[in-house]
Structure 1
Amino acid sequence: MEVRGFHVKNAEAKARLEYIGETFLKGYAAAVEAGSPAEAEELLEAVPRDMRGFAYEGAGMGAVVHDALPGHGGRLRGLLAGRGRHHDYMIYVGIGWAMARLPRPLWPDIPATDPLLRWLALDGYGFHQAYFKTDAYVRKPHLRHPFRWRGGHNHYTARAIDQGIGRALWFVGGTDPDVVTRLIRAYPADRHADLYAGAGLACSYAGGVGEDELARFAKGAGEHRWALAQGAAFAAEARIKAGTVIDHTHLAARVVCGTTAESAAQVCRATRPRETGADHALPAYEKWRRDIAAQLASSSLVSKGADQ
């Protein structure tokens, strides 16, 4: 944390964030060094349950790097075909980490990937850039960095990248909601919703924060309260799908989403688009995110009305 110049809230939060980084690297190594996808899977499944998703995220990056080497291939496909399919959210994020490190000609075949989840690769790319190029992506928030890919809707790529930047801000800010809020507010206002969505995912999935802090973070999001909740719902769905739910999953869903983790995850599943064609003004992924936010906001209003 100190080396990267990130905010240190306290020793406990620092230790957790650094442990997450170590786990990511173990996952990366498992995907690169294993003799087969099955062997990599064994190593990944040995990671403690609460941290296993971060290992699969690292493995997503490692699998893409492995497949880019001469004479190699099939590692990413094998990873997603095995028990990694339960961690597909995290693996797709890891693909974006690899894209940030590899020359464009060595990127994976993006058009062949899941048309909905492929946007998470840009989330991973944005996280990587904010984490490792913090001066350019965080400390100069007025700058926008050009990016084009073959995944569709290039006018939306900057927004997907911002979601990853927002997730990284949870780490840059050391899980301190006040610091993270200040970091987000330094960006132009039209970027706040996506940044809060990313931070919502991170504060729910990575943790490092208590109930009062979560409540303060949600209140500070203001008009972007439900963008924050959408990210938190993604985190609940990712953990429930992978069987890595922890106590913090339930806490974050209750405080940030205003519902249970199971209900937040169900909203993600129920609103998941069946049609993912690229003939619309916005990708289906963005419609999905909007529908999740709207459903959570609506459920909250109904709940408050019943209480009254």
Structure 2
Amino acid sequence: MSNLRALRRRVLTPNVRETQLETRGFHVKNAEAKHQLETVGVSFLQGYAYAVEARSADQAVEWLETVPRSFRGFAYEGAGMGAVMLDALTGSGKRLAGLLTGEGARHNYMIYVGVGWAMARLPRFLWPDVTAIDPVLRWLILDGYGFHQAYFKTGAYVRDPAAPHPFSWRGGSDRYSARAIDQGIGRALWFVGGTDPDVVAGLIASFPEHRHGDLYAGSGLACTYAGSVDEEELRRFAEHAGPHFPNLAQGSAFAVEARERAGTTIEHTHLAARVLCADRTPEEAARVCIDTKPAGCDGGEIPAFETWRQHIAEAITSRPYAQKGAVA
């Protein structure tokens, strides 16, 4: 059986070369940023491999918890994708359901994002039943879908920003789906732009104006969670965001909360919370997200997830960022 699991891992796991910046044609800011982003990719694939090779979800979680704290969330994201791919192969939903219990539940945000990666690779008839997933958080699945498309289909989704990409699913409003996917695309732009705030801002500027808010929200999440920038670069990125700074701050706060709930807070989390979340500690920024989270979803045209994001943005920016000297 161990040989079968190892074969399953080799067959199902993407090649690590696909995460290298040269392979992807992404901007290289410097050697440190390149190493950071490529380690993120390696960690993602490690988590993916753990999910498909482990005897059980419990064993997968045991392995995932050995990944260094800085990159553990990315491993869980990969595990979310791997679990859905394995479940599609076996015709069950046990691996994903198992990952979302116990210790893995603390990483549910990242696991849901990984589900979106799998949906981007699977034919529609093999997509998981997303209606069984928390109606507030299931939009994170489309964040993962959007990230995947921008990361692997950069020409169509980033280099040709006006190209239409219609999308429909059973998870909610088609109109909002495009916005949730843009949040994932924005997160991917942090990778495409090599963590260079000027390059990333330039990429966002190439998109139609009405999409900038969601793109900055996704990039705000990525610059906080993946990092590889210093304080001056974060402040410069905030300046680039201009009127979309509340979106940037919301994404940053969301990333802080994801790390806090998973116990993976690192030094960069403190820096980003201070710079982008109006001089808050990670605990304070996370508390804003927790306190504003809706208890459920009423099924209206504007999802509770979007209302939550708006409330986070309003609360985070209620402590004027301009006092820090970055945004007038």
TM-score category (smaller protein): over 0.9
- Aligned counterpart, 2:230: 210
CA distance in 2, matches of 1:73, 1:110: 11
- Asked if 1:267 is matched to 2:288, the reply is yes
Distance in 2 of aligned mates of 1:294 and 1:187: 24
Point out where structure 2 has 5 or more consecutive residues left out of the alignment: 1-20
Deviations 1:97-121 (A, max 9, x none): 0000001111111100111110000
Q: Tell me how far 1:72 sits from its aligned partner.
A: 4.3
Per the TM alignment, residue 3 of structure 1 is displaced from its structure 2 partner at its CA by 1.2
Output the CA distance in 2 between the equivalents of 1:281 and 1:51.
Answer: 36
CA contact (8 A) 2:135 2:296 kept: no
Q: Tell me: CA distance 1:196–1:275, structure 2 relative to 1, closer, same or farther (3 Å).
A: same
Q: Which residue is 2:264 aligned to? A: 244
Mapped pair 1:86 → 2:98:
no
Q: 1:218 to 1:303 in 2, by over 3 A?
A: closer
Question: Does 2:77 align with 1:57?
Answer: yes
Alignment match, 1:117: 137
Map Cα deviations across residues 215-234 of structure 1 (whole Å, 9 max, x no partner): 00011100000100000000
Q: Offset at 1:71?
A: 4.9
How far, CA to CA, are the matches of 1:281 and 1:50 in structure 2? 37
Deviation at 1:70, TM superposition (A): 3.1
Mapped pair 1:289 → 2:309: yes
User: What's the offset of the Cα at 1:82?
Assistant: 2.0
Matched pairs, number: 303
Kept in 1: contact 2:238–2:248 (CA 8 A): yes
**Residue 319 of structure 2 aligns to which amino acid in structure 1?**
S
Map of 1:15-26 to 2, 5 A cutoff? Answer: 15-26=35-46
Structure 1 residue 144 displacement after superposition: 2.5
Structure 1 equivalent of residue 208 of structure 2: 188
| Per-residue Cα deviation, 1:147-206 (whole angstroms, up to 9, x for no partner) | 000001111000000000000000000000000000000000000000000000000000
Question: Which of 77, 84, 93 is 2:97 aligned to?
Answer: 77
Distance in 1 between the 2:187 and 2:290 partners?
Answer: 22
Kindly indicate whether residue 187 of structure 2 is the aligned counterpart of residue 167 of structure 1.
yes
Distance 1:303 1:131, change over 3 A: same
1:19–1:75: structure 2 CA closer, same or farther, 3 Å change rule? same
SS of the equivalent of 2:175 reads coil
Deviations 1:224-276 (A, max 9, x none): 00100000000000000000000000101111111221111100000000131
- Whichever residue aligns with residue 110 of structure 1, its letter is V
Where does 1:134-145 land on structure 2 (aligned, <5 Å)? 134-145=154-165
Q: CA RMSD in A?
A: 1.2
Q: 1:73 Cα deviation (Å)?
A: 3.5
In 2, Cα distance between the equivalents of 1:237 and 1:125? 21
- Whether 2:125 is the aligned partner of 1:105: answer yes
CA distance in 2, matches of 1:107, 1:45: 27
Q: Secondary structure at the match of 1:221?
A: helix
Q: Specify the alignment match of 1:178 in structure 2.
A: 198
- Alignment-derived partner of residue 42 in structure 1: 62
Deviation of 1:298 after TM superposition, in Å, equals 1.2
Pick from 297, 309, 323 the counterpart of residue 276 of structure 1: 297
Report if the CA contact (8 A) 2:120-2:148 is conserved.
Answer: yes
User: Matched residues in 2 for 1:301 and 1:217: separation?
Assistant: 13
Q: What's the TM-score, normalizing by structure 1?
A: 0.96
Q: Match for 1:226 among 230, 234, 246?
A: 246
Q: 1:301 to 1:124 in 2, by over 3 A?
A: closer
1:200 maps to a residue whose letter is G
Read off the aligned partner of 2:288 and give its amino acid letter: V
